[in-house]
Amino acid sequence: MKEMQLKYGCNPNQKPSRIFMKDGELPIEVLNGKPGYINLLDALNGWQLVKELEKATGIVAATSFKHVSPAGAAVGLELSDTLKKIYWVDDLEMSPMANAYARARGADRMSSYGDFIALSSTCDVPTAKMIAREVSDGIIAPGYTDEALEILKGKRKGTYNIIKIDPTYRPAPIETKDVFGITFEQGRNEIEINSEMLSNIVTDNKELTDDAKRDLMIALITLKYTQSNSVCYVKDGQAIGIGAGQQSRIHCTRLAGNKADIWWLRQSPKVLGLKFRDEIRRADRDNAIDVYISDEYEDVLADGVWQTIFAEKPEPFTKAEQKKWLLENTNVALGSDAFFPFGDNIERAKKSGVKYIAQPGGSIRDDNVIETCNKYGMVMAFTDSRLFHH
């Protein structure tokens, strides 16, 4: 098939709409559903991300995409009992691929609501069963087991978007994009992110562990497919906070850092001890936890809303208690798609447990950024490679 007609483009008024190949056949096959314009943008960007993650780490990978940026990305490391609980998968059979998707969706479950999923390898039954009970728009993978495909076909009353991609497909080295009737042309961003990119360590502390290298590569590959400006916090094989599309680097760092903090706070005894009413759905529990952690919780208590969500009235999670718990989050990796212009980014990163950093370097204030890292004993590598994505 050389082309696929779509219902409309980004918005219902944008017609006609299609995807097509100038030469050759489309490398995708729609096995179920009718994916739209944005679905396909998410699918193709997500596929590139997970394919590169598996190549760089040797571990199966998954990503959860929303509006052409990842909400989460991860490799299939085994989950701890705590992570299984906060990702609502402690009742499921797990596989490496299921672990990868649980981590990818679990990084920011609120943003992943209604996501498009990309898997680096065949979708198996444990992964399909997990996806079947989440709110998601679709999935792209190089293959599906027969049983997994049947499970997914039953989702969304049989309309769930399921795409199979040819893993051997290689795009042309030159890509084009039309904006306002004008065609832009550039070479594809074929830069390969690997451990060698982390060899130029510019800080006093030069002890970069293998796990830190893995996490920094995950951060950089994730950023390669995230709308710029962007930064990504990673821990134990998964993104825990992604800041995308901000005009200021410090705003990226704060946004992603706040998401990383929420991810860590979800693992606190106070949050793990929350007693929900049996009928409360997972998505509503995620929302309730977000409010419980936030400054809004006192108002919720005052209004008595808690009785509709919780089986028992939760004790407040005070700012002092949260600050103490956040201090226990350590050895976090942070990647940036362009240089940090000032040390304030490092100061904010420190608050979220960052120890390892990878960024291109090249700022006139590199000395200030390095000095700030040295103050905290951080390890920072200059990659000399910008990763803007637009």
Question: Catalytic site residues?
Answer: 66-67, 229, 390
318, 298 Cβ separation under 8 angstroms: no
Is the Cα dihedral 122, 76, 61, 243 positive or negative? positive
What is the amino acid identity at position 329? N
The secondary structure element, H or E, covering residue 50 is: helix 37-57
CA pair distance 136, 21, nearest whole angstrom? 27
107, 133 Cβ separation under 8 angstroms: no
CA pair distance 217, 192, nearest whole angstrom? 10
97, 283 Cβ separation under 8 angstroms: no
147, 8 Cβ separation under 8 angstroms: no
What is the amino acid identity at position 359? Q
CA pair distance 342, 338, nearest whole angstrom? 12
340, 363 Cβ separation under 8 angstroms: yes
Please list, in sequence order, all residues whose beta carbon lies within 8 angstroms of the beta carbon of residue 43, skipping any fewer than 6 positions away.
28, 35, 65, 116, 118, 138, 140, 163, 165
CA pair distance 53, 58, nearest whole angstrom? 8
Could you give the residue ranges of the DSSP H alpha helices within 89-165? 96-106, 109-112, 125-132, 146-153
